Structure 1
Amino acid sequence: MKVNKHLLVFAILISFLFIKGFAQENISVVPYPKGIKLNNGHLNISNGFKIGYVKKELAPIAELMSADFYTLFEITSKVKKGKGIILLDYDTRLKEEEYSLVINRKNVFIKGGSHKAVIMGVTSLLQLGKQQGQGVHFPLVSIKDYPSSSYRGFMLDVARQWHNIATVKQVIDLCRWYKIKYMQFHLTDDQSFTFPSTAYPKLASPDRHYTLDELKDLVAYAEARGVTIIPEFDAPGHTQAMRKAMPELFGESKLGVINLADERVYKAMETIMEEMMAVFHTSPYFHIGADEAWLGEFEKRDETKAYIKKKGFDNAHDIYLDFMVQMHAIVKKNSKKTLIWESFAGDGSRKVKIPKDIIVFAWETAYQRPESLLKNGYTIINASWKPTYVTPGFRWNPDYIYKWNLHRWENHWNATPSYHNPIQLEESEPILGGQMCSWEMSEEQQIPSIHQRVPAISEVFWNGNNKSSYEDYYKRYEKTDVGYNRLIFPVTIVKQGFTEPNYEGIYYNKENKFGDVASLTFTPSLPNTKITYTLDDKMPTEDSEQLPSILKIDKDFKAKLGVFDKKGNRVGYKLVNYQLSPILPIVKGNTLALRDTVISRPNVEFIGNATLTLKLLKNDAEIRYTLDGSKPTLSSKLYTKMITVDKPQVVKAICFFKGEPIGLMYQARFIKKDFEKNVTTGKKVTSPENRNSPIYGMSKAVDGFVDKDAFWDSQGDPSGIMVDLEKPTPIKKIELFTYWDGQRYYQYDIELSLDGKNWTKVVDQSANKEKATEQGYISQFTEQKARYVRVNMLYNSANPSMHIIELRAY
């Protein structure tokens, strides 16, 4: 029989596309497995199926899986040692964090190289399940998977903003769901001391601390889900709560750090640390904090000066470094490894060296760059401020996080090296792993802000640069996110009257804003369950007031909801905060995408003019507004028409109903950008011949904007830039904008050329001592044609670096 080769190739291609499409539709695992083989067909599991296990220590995993099957799919199961439709086992041939998952037409086999690896296999299975009728469908698949990074962390700050244990458990559930190995627990800070020390009970902040039983239960809860909690005791800075509670030992409040010149403090630290280690006994690490220690007041004290002399140190900074060394010794004595924030330069000082077996979280790049830490022999973990930090002021979108990599450092703060020129190391550099950090987030913001960011960064930690497209990832995430939310709160909520009910982005609670009257329908996903709620910030119980199935609201509604089964067990928990927001702003004009959005201070950057329309959503109400940043009152200007904004100003608006202010106030800072297109705008910019100027960031010098936060930085050596205008262009005026702070001045010269070889100097500011300002340095000269403009930066009176904010030519 003769076969048509073209038809055969076509058939194979169609088959491949079908299988690939089937895989994308069914393999909803996040992070995506490294090794996967998909077969045709599916396995259906229904009520009463058996979960078996080989070793008795796997029984708790089987029990947890059984409970999750019921919560996720309403499917009951039996757990018993021996064979079952699902069988759990170890496989010594697999690596410690490697698991295999095989689903055929009759059975599911999950094996792992360790206890936690088996848990990861179970999680992948749960993510794959799809409820259909009275059963659950699973694709027939073989998976062999393991992480690229050994350290995959998430940090939860409960010292700045108090969190109930129920919310902390939901964070642990999120870590488990997306295979985050460690949850660092930031237990102490200036605001509160949340650990219940038995030796020093006065340290525990009233109404803002946990009990030992709660913490021990939390450790067990996390371990059962394959998550290890790492305690953090942040000192000697970030210790205001300690000093307020026990000034007689740790020093008075204004000291800035605990009293490092008092030997009793070191003994107390050891006692508390060992108490923490006893509770968090499963952690191989202990985090000693040690960042942002202000020594100004401390170094003035006579006691400090005497301690410096006694120890043979050079200064108070040596005491600070020695504190790290002593805390590290305590950690090592207890057979754990020390973690620390990037907080020292080099490898210490002349008198005090920081041990090389301390593991450093490289987060800000202000104290020391990551490549410097590596050069100095330290193991590092990437906790780059941008985009791994989640804060009330800054949060980056999941797509930005997903496209980031573990060898990159960025920052939002313009005083750090990685702000202007992100640091990108080679893949060959040894990075232990990465961590996302959630700082200062309120309990109600926590889960809504991180449930979409943790999975994105988990893909980075798990698969490195071998990730699929963001579009493919997002399809998988949408399915796994439904599962996670059902695990922590098995209730379906339908909203009516909300302005953006399905919003997912950086602005927390935007999806919970309504303009006039709203209604919500709450339908429990599990039979024989009910929802109760509290309005007084207390945790709901089975006996709390029952939430109506349809809730109608016309004002703010903030509550804690609990889901309880017929036995009185809480099977779900959620904080809700529905806010009346009767003003819908509409901004038009030549606006700019913000470089970094400060959520707590909404900005609108624009060129030329912008218009602001305030749409009123509340019936029978009115809007009053101001343009000077003051809070509107009933006597403020009545909004009747669109507002034209042609200069920098702060707009605030409030809705008034029956003479009373209601709902959220609208406010935004409008920032007019200095933009001017000229002959250099957008042109190719390079380093002058025989110069070692950093190329990255040079385009900022010719982007048309005079933006103090966006400039080219030579990073140390006198150098410059060269702009190719693409064709001979007549020039008679040049404006150079350098960084200004009211103090510094720059010296430079500017040359023109037609061929890039022969140059004519047209500006000589080599003796300039005029301080730089936002108006820049302006030079006019006899018109001449040039294709190339070369700026030679010679001197900066403030520091060795050179900075060009903008170069304009006319």
Structure 2
Amino acid sequence: MNDKNEYIAYEYKATIKTESESFRNALNAFCDYSERILDLSFEEHDKAEIILAAQQELLPGAYKIVPNNKNVKIYASNEEGINNALATMLQIMQKSDNGVFIPKVKIFDYPDSIYRGMMVDLAREWHEFEYLINFVDMCYFYKLSVLHLHFTDDQSYTLPSDVYPKLPTVNRHYTKEQINELVEYAHKRGIELVPEIDIPGHCQQFQKAYPSLFGFGGIIHQHEDSFVALEEIFAELCEMFKYSKYIHIGGDEAAIQQWTQCKKCRDYADTKGIDSTISDKSLLSEQMLAHFVTRIANVVFENDKKPIAWEGFAKEVNDMVPKEIIIMSWENYYQLTPDLIDAGFKIINCSWDPMYVITPIRKWPIKDVFEWDIYSWKPVHPQSPYINTGGIKIEHSDNVLGGQLLAWNRHIEEHFENAEDGIKEEMLLLLERIPALSENTWNNEKVRTFDEFIIDAEVLQDRFKPILRISE
């Protein structure tokens, strides 16, 4: 728009080409979305007017869009950058009678944060496979880099498994074919999938399927046989998600004190250099948790991937946990964010307030999400030292990789007669908040007011929403 609120644009034929074969998947994804979102079909052509080109001087994730009266050239140094550019194109271009209008403006842009994520709980409430595809679409359109999928919890184990075939919950798990389809779909759109198997707590499905192996009482028992089994399960997960850079191993909200009351667990700890006879049983349980997290993380490292864990272990055992494990700081109860950073961990901001969406009972206004930034946390746990203080804001740190919006759905069944209505509500709540999450992880400093932001956010939502299942 110019000062007179007029849309000033070049008009191009709906033709496209790439000068770099490494951008082939990105081109195909863009053409797919153009047809679904704008009802606009692009044709590949040697004399195309929209041209994708590599420019190695650009930082990873960065891009340039340079229009003139003959063509528009789109530059990036890698697939992440070209996908970011093409997502921007889907947001700014308009269908015309002869092709497409593109604003007469040069764009150079890049993300401040490498981790711009959305998490969805798939275990507490079943999501049909089509929703997973839509979650990838949401990440692509809003230039998020990561889709974190919480596949397991007490309610269900939604992954397939050949190594432990009784683990997948009957009639409530995805097939190998579906997982492979999801993996390829996300990869071709440049979205990083972060699959999560949440242990040692949240493990009732493990214990129902293999009680003699994984124990009882809501926490996986520590002994050599259980660890060998878990190593096989995580190796299978790494293979299933072959393109994933990160694997989430859980690590929070576990009744770790039970390990100190289990002779087999204590005997195992002794073999690993942990003195199970110490009088401080709280410290003993934390040391055993540190060992658990480390041993599972090592499986991920051995598969050339990076482990992520929830904030869950205490400061007193930081020296036992590899600093290469990325920590999601969410509550500032198990351990404070400054202590994690001081210990050398890289972290992801998953602040309960305002980044959690618990359909339908708990969510924060969109403005609160917009006002949040990756250096701010507002806990809700009554025992957090920051409760009722307005939270904590830390100094800028390279150890903060970004932030994430998180959807949990354990209350859907009790509030909706039809669970799918609850899933649609969850998707709508995410869709309303994703633009603010994207804005605040793309730009670590505010670049506009909420009133300016919300106008664009609502326009983009109207453009994108029709391709989602919630529009049916």
Same structural fold, with TM-score higher than 0.5 when normalized by the shorter chain: yes
Taking structure 1 as the reference length, what is the TM-score of the superposition? 0.54
What corresponds to 1:336 in structure 2?
305
What corresponds to 2:463 in structure 1?
483
Would you say the 8 A contact 1:69–1:75 is kept in 2? yes
In 2: Cα distance, 1:433 partner to 1:304 partner: 37
Would you say the 8 A contact 1:219–1:228 is kept in 2? no
Matched, 1:267 2:236: no
What corresponds to 1:118 in structure 2?
82
Classify 1:449/1:138 alpha carbon distance in 2 versus 1 (closer, same or farther; 3 Å).
same
Would you say the 8 A contact 2:286–2:317 is kept in 1? no
Classify 1:310/1:67 alpha carbon distance in 2 versus 1 (closer, same or farther; 3 Å).
closer
Which of 114, 123, 133 is the matching residue for 1:159? 123
In the TM superposition, what are the counterparts of 1:100-179 in structure 2 within 5 Å? 100-132=64-96, 135-179=99-143
In 2: Cα distance, 1:471 partner to 1:226 partner: 31
Matched, 1:257 2:225: no
Classify 1:336/1:20 alpha carbon distance in 2 versus 1 (closer, same or farther; 3 Å).
farther
SS, match of residue 105 in structure 2: strand
Deviation at 1:418, TM superposition (A): 2.6
Deviation at 1:428, TM superposition (A): 4.8
In 2: Cα distance, 1:52 partner to 1:311 partner: 58
In 1: Cα distance, 2:165 partner to 2:302 partner: 24
What corresponds to 1:790 in structure 2?
none
In the TM superposition, what are the counterparts of 1:34-45 in structure 2 within 5 Å? 41-45=8-12
Matched, 1:452 2:432: yes
Would you say the 8 A contact 1:66–1:79 is kept in 2? no
Classify 1:371/1:43 alpha carbon distance in 2 versus 1 (closer, same or farther; 3 Å).
same
Classify 1:61/1:304 alpha carbon distance in 2 versus 1 (closer, same or farther; 3 Å).
closer
The one-letter amino acid paired with 2:454 is Y
Which of 189, 193, 207 is the matching residue for 1:229? 193
In 2: Cα distance, 1:426 partner to 1:21 partner: 41
What corresponds to 1:404 in structure 2?
372
Which of 293, 315, 318 is the matching residue for 1:346? 315
In 2: Cα distance, 1:323 partner to 1:447 partner: 34
Deviation at 1:132, TM superposition (A): 4.9
What corresponds to 2:279 in structure 1?
none
Deviation at 1:430, TM superposition (A): 3.6
Deviation at 1:245, TM superposition (A): 1.4
The one-letter amino acid paired with 1:471 is D
Matched, 1:364 2:331: yes
Would you say the 8 A contact 2:66–2:74 is kept in 1? yes
Unaligned stretches of 5+ in structure 1? 1-17, 27-40, 489-572, 577-810
In the TM superposition, what are the counterparts of 1:253-402 in structure 2 within 5 Å? 255-260=217-222, 262-314=223-275, 315-346=284-315, 348=317, 353-392=320-359, 393-402=361-370
Deviation at 1:221, TM superposition (A): 0.7
Would you say the 8 A contact 2:66–2:72 is kept in 1? yes
The one-letter amino acid paired with 1:376 is A
In 2: Cα distance, 1:382 partner to 1:304 partner: 33
What corresponds to 1:645 in structure 2?
none
What corresponds to 2:176 in structure 1?
212
After superposition, give the CA deviation of every residue in 1:30-64 in whole Å (9 maximum; x if it has no partner).
Answer: xxxxxxxxxxx412245xx3211112332332233
After superposition, give the CA deviation of every residue in 1:315-370 in whole Å (9 maximum; x if it has no partner).
Answer: 34322221111112111111111111111122517xx7111221111110001111
Deviation at 1:296, TM superposition (A): 4.0
In 2: Cα distance, 1:144 partner to 1:72 partner: 24
In 2: Cα distance, 1:74 partner to 1:184 partner: 30
- Residues matched between the structures, number: 451
In 1: Cα distance, 2:335 partner to 2:258 partner: 24
Deviation at 1:486, TM superposition (A): 2.6
In 1: Cα distance, 2:292 partner to 2:25 partner: 42
SS, match of residue 277 in structure 1: helix
Matched, 1:426 2:395: yes
Deviation at 1:429, TM superposition (A): 6.2
Matched, 1:70 2:35: yes
Classify 1:52/1:266 alpha carbon distance in 2 versus 1 (closer, same or farther; 3 Å).
same
Which of 206, 210, 228 is the matching residue for 1:246? 210
SS, match of residue 374 in structure 2: coil
Classify 1:127/1:247 alpha carbon distance in 2 versus 1 (closer, same or farther; 3 Å).
same
The one-letter amino acid paired with 1:459 is E
In 1: Cα distance, 2:196 partner to 2:108 partner: 34
Structure 1 or 2: more helix by fraction: 2
In 1: Cα distance, 2:455 partner to 2:237 partner: 41
Deviation at 1:95, TM superposition (A): 0.7
SS, match of residue 159 in structure 2: coil
After superposition, give the CA deviation of every residue in 1:162-213 in whole Å (9 maximum; x if it has no partner).
Answer: 1111011111111111111011111111111111111101000011111111
**More contact order relative to length (CA 8 Å, sep ≥ 6):** 2
Structure ID, larger Rg: 1
RMSD: 2.0
In the TM superposition, what are the counterparts of 1:484-523 in structure 2 within 5 Å? 484-488=464-468
In 2: Cα distance, 1:83 partner to 1:479 partner: 32
The one-letter amino acid paired with 1:280 is F
Deviation at 1:21, TM superposition (A): 6.4
Would you say the 8 A contact 1:406–1:433 is kept in 2? yes
Unaligned stretches of 5+ in structure 2? 276-283, 413-421
The one-letter amino acid paired with 2:311 is E
Classify 1:312/1:42 alpha carbon distance in 2 versus 1 (closer, same or farther; 3 Å).
closer
Matched, 1:439 2:439: no
Deviation at 1:241, TM superposition (A): 1.0
Would you say the 8 A contact 1:232–1:288 is kept in 2? yes
Structure 1 or 2: more strand by fraction: 1
Taking structure 2 as the reference length, what is the TM-score of the superposition? 0.91
298-307 vs 375-384, greater mean Cα deviation: 298-307
What corresponds to 1:59 in structure 2?
24
